[in-house]
Structure 1
Amino acid sequence: MLPTLRRLLARPELSLRLLTPEGDLPPGSLDQGLEWVHSSDLADPTPFLSPSQVLLTTGTQFTSDAPGEAFSRGYVARLRERGITGLGFGTEVVREGTPDALVAACLADGLPLFEVPYRTPFIAVARAAGDMVAEERFARHTWTLGAQRAIALAALRPDGLGATLSELSRQLGHWVALFDATGGLDRVFPRDAFARSGVGGPSDMLQREAALLLRRGQRASSTVVDGGESVTLQTLGRGGQLRGVLALGGQVELDPAGQEVVTSVVALAGLALEQNSALGRARGKLRSGLLQALLGGSVELVQSIIGDLWGPLPAAPVRIAAIGTGRDGLEDLIELLELRVEARPGQLFFARQRAMIVLLVDRTTGPLLTELSTAFGLHIGVSDPAEYGALPRALAQAERALERSRDGAPAVLEFEIVSRQGVLAYLARTDAGDVGRATLEPLVRHDAERGTELLASVRVWLEHNGQYGPAADVLGVHRHTLRARIGQAEQVLGRDLAAFPARADLWAAFVAAG
């Protein structure tokens, strides 16, 4: 943070006098940052100036033969465009007093103009400004060290990550929010930061920006203006394994000292989240072992272990949900499930099982399964309700439902729906299709060689439970004609279709062949 022109004007030893009343200047004109003081009597000194500097001049360029008001207006306009903080006019060196045309031009353009008396050398003004800049930089450096020390001590507390972010918010005077790897708000400091804004949570734009950074999968940062505040967002974690997004908001942008503190916190937060991830992998292995114990019937043992870790198991009867997953998004899915377990103790338990995520859920978690399927594009199979003693059977049901769900778009499919479709519905999804086509091949070949319609006739006849009249009506032939065709089909197939096993086997062939 730079010292201001107001502080320079207030130095009593310089005896500087403001010629443009503050009330006639744009708001905040005297509170602009002052980076350095430069002196020049050039008609156009701007090529040698930088923004946030104060320019001092003795007025050699404002001689009597200069073009007066027009020259003054152009001179001041160039200074304003260059970003000069203020203009100081040294009197009694070249001329007495400050030109009225220059005062008018500064007032018209909103540039602070002050008078430097003859007894105050320009070098004294420059030295005073340099001292203030050095003091301010030293103060900010001291603040940076103090802030980093306070944040480091906060990181040693039991909830190191939360304490670190809380201390960062206090040191910067900004609100600080952490979004998890799924883009959901994890925590915010101060806790009522969003409540005070009247919206109760992060804005849609802020959430979209955090989600966009996460989807890119690379370390990145961005700055947006949201609700009149400048908000800086910074990803946490390594490229390809982002752990979340840190967001900081306030009425003013951070200076380099503040940014340096944020950089150190990003490193600390990233490390904490990486450690949490490693701990998560260990918890995952423990969960998988506990699931095997549950499937083996050791319910009381599992309950005694997980009680202090994740709360009680879901109350029986429970359903098992089998989620088919790939590598992409797996860690995000597990992290979201961890958050849901923490938020809903006693309603959910999950673990990895081979290439699946297996969930034990109670009757209240149906919306969660739909949310997972929609958010991650997942196929999910769900068992019938079961007691803990029947978990292996429930797991088999969930796997069958998961297998069937893969026939369509990602969705949640319950085993109850699958069971209504019957056993034969599975034939079309297995290698039984080759067997079915081979069974029907004699009829297909006979129809092709002799122009008969045995295949279609047999199928319609079986669909009508072997009744000749209704089947003949559908085919548009006389029932005696159909009876003759069925007899001919029996000869071609070498089967007696009057027997139920033969009819069932032939119908299964039709189903399997598709």
Structure 2
Amino acid sequence: MSIGIGWLLSQSHLRMEVRAGRVDDDRRISFVQPTELLDPTPWLSANALVLTTGLGLTAADCAEYVRRLVDAGASAVGFGTGLSHDRIPPEMLDEANQWGLPVLEVPYTTPFAAITRSVSERLTEQQYELVRRAASAQVRITRAALRGGIPAIVRELAAAVRASVAFVDEQSGEIAAYPKSATVLASMTRTIPRAGPGSMTVSESGISTTVQPVMQAGATLGYVVVQVTHPLEAVEIVLVGHAVSLITLDLDKPQRLRRERNALGGRVLSLSLDGLLPAKEAVAHLGDACSEGGLIRILNIECEAPAEIARELDAAFETRRRPFYACDRKTSLLVLLRGDDSSTGVEEMIRRIGSGRAASAGLSAPHHLDHVEHAATQATIATSKIAGSRRVREFDPRHGTALLTSPEAVAVLRSVARSTVSVLAAYDRDHDSRLVESLHAFLESNGQWERAASALNVHRHTLRARVAKAGELMGVDMSDARVRAELLLGILAELPD
């Protein structure tokens, strides 16, 4: 807050007159300092009105006295006559004219206290007016936020603080500016160095530019740039902060809606998996997570911290502009995927999240949303067969491996293999033969002798002899299709993953 010297001279009851120096709008008074010290500068700051009666001041001191006040940034000198001096020393007036420092004569009948009180009251009035204006501006900026979003907030802030204002969205690069010429301020976000979440201000040629980051949860959403030709008052800085808060809330609206939508979708998915919600009702809430034709897949992730994995997956889905619907099962996380999501893409996504917390995952085959429970069962079964470096196992009945993803089925098949295939394995070790390998090739070739023999690089008669020997050792009828199917699955169950 400050007042002009012209205002002080206009107060007729003070009867002050200019005796030297220049009076212009650039000289402002922020406070009044009565003092009789010959060197008051240690206790002065810029824009002070120094009041003195010149006690102890001689003609020889005047020039140095004036220069000290000029160096300290004093706005003017009020010289009281009628006490120590009947008139202002001409040496002071001459020096003040050289430097342009206004010297005001204060008559004997005007107490210094009256000047101090007038300036103080005027500064208080200004402060009250600024606070009142700021309060009104806060209301306007808030209403603007509700009605017009960020562009309206920028417009009202610019009007309230008499500035050019621009907001730069960090993610989209979009700019909201007022006036339109303020669009050029967007470049300031790149040229002004920033450290941390605090604002940065630069001043040059009487123009001050402030860059204020808009933060949320440690992330920078954008920047508000305010450029003024006057120092920002404290309440104006508050208005800038208020605008930044409103912009933050406005940017958070889509996030809040997404969080609520995901939470609702997760609850619907949980009810569907538990069989408590009909598929027709679930489609209305989960349809945006399905691929064309209403197809979905279920991803089951076995992990120690499902909530943490869910947060990271949510962020990954958001970057792809997809909803994230999941169920936390305490030791696992069930996630609804689109039916056209590939196992390769899911594998890559799992590898990027959780810093290793996602121990393993199973992916169902594509299903219509009506069969979401069945999809979840497939994903859970597929998860149980994870081994080695692979994190995602796909349940795929099209390739004849679905049965091998069930630990119960694998246990049965291995029991069969111990009384059949294991006999051949023991014979191979004792006789350096290749019965297991030959039987495997024969069964995988669907009984086609030529193809199986070619795969083993042996004559078909040799292969026939080996298969016959295998059947003899195991005591099984190799002409029975069901026997051949069990033998093949038994061999596959014993093979390393």
Matched, 1:47 2:12: no
Q: Which runs of 5+ in 1 are unaligned?
A: 23-28, 107-111, 214-220, 342-347, 474-481
Report how far residue 312 of structure 1 moved: 7.7
Q: 1:98 maps to what in 2?
A: 92
Q: Which runs of 5+ in 2 are unaligned?
A: 446-451
Matched, 1:256 2:256: no
Q: Is contact 1:89-1:98 (8 Å) kept?
A: no
Q: 1:197 maps to what in 2?
A: 183
- CA spacing shift, 1:397–1:168, aligned 2, 3 Å: farther
**Equivalents in 2 of 1:193, 1:400: separation in Å?**
62
* Aligned mate of 2:125, from 120, 135, 138: 135
Q: Is contact 2:202-2:210 (8 Å) kept?
A: yes
Q: 1:353 maps to what in 2?
A: 327
Matches within 5 A, 1:103-142: 106=99, 113-119=101-107, 122-123=112-113, 125-142=115-132
Q: 1:229 maps to what in 2?
A: 209
Matched, 1:287 2:287: no
Among the aligned pairs, what percent are the same residue?
Answer: 17
**Equivalents in 2 of 1:311, 1:262: separation in Å?**
42
- CA spacing shift, 1:134–1:503, aligned 2, 3 Å: same
Matched, 1:504 2:480: no
Q: 2:26 maps to what in 1?
A: 30
> Which is worse superposed, 372-381 or 37-46?
372-381
**Equivalents in 1 of 2:265, 2:190: separation in Å?**
35
Report how far residue 224 of structure 1 moved: 2.6
TM (normalized to structure 1)?
A: 0.55
RMSD: 6.8
Q: 1:3 maps to what in 2?
A: 2
**Equivalents in 1 of 2:351, 2:488: separation in Å?**
43
- CA spacing shift, 1:198–1:377, aligned 2, 3 Å: farther
Q: Is contact 1:43-1:61 (8 Å) kept?
A: yes
Structure ID, larger Rg: 2
Letter aligned with residue 197 of structure 1: T
Matched length: 446
**Equivalents in 2 of 1:404, 1:72: separation in Å?**
92
Q: 1:344 maps to what in 2?
A: none
Report how far residue 197 of structure 1 moved: 1.6
- CA spacing shift, 1:235–1:459, aligned 2, 3 Å: same
**Equivalents in 2 of 1:20, 1:286: separation in Å?**
72
Report how far residue 425 of structure 1 moved: 9.6
Matched, 1:86 2:75: yes
Report how far residue 384 of structure 1 moved: 7.1
Report how far residue 88 of structure 1 moved: 2.2
**Equivalents in 2 of 1:55, 1:403: separation in Å?**
86
Q: Is contact 2:63-2:92 (8 Å) kept?
A: no
Q: Which secondary structure state, in structure 1, belongs to the residue aligned with residue 90 of structure 2?
A: coil
- CA spacing shift, 1:130–1:396, aligned 2, 3 Å: same
Q: Is contact 1:320-1:382 (8 Å) kept?
A: no
Report how far residue 419 of structure 1 moved: 4.7
Letter aligned with residue 351 of structure 1: Y
- CA spacing shift, 1:101–1:116, aligned 2, 3 Å: closer
Letter aligned with residue 115 of structure 1: V
**Equivalents in 1 of 2:200, 2:8: separation in Å?**
35
Superposed CA offset, 1:281-315 (max 9, x none):
7655543465556997644x567x66xxx998877
Superposed CA offset, 1:373-421 (max 9, x none):
59983789987776655666666777789999998799xx896xx8599
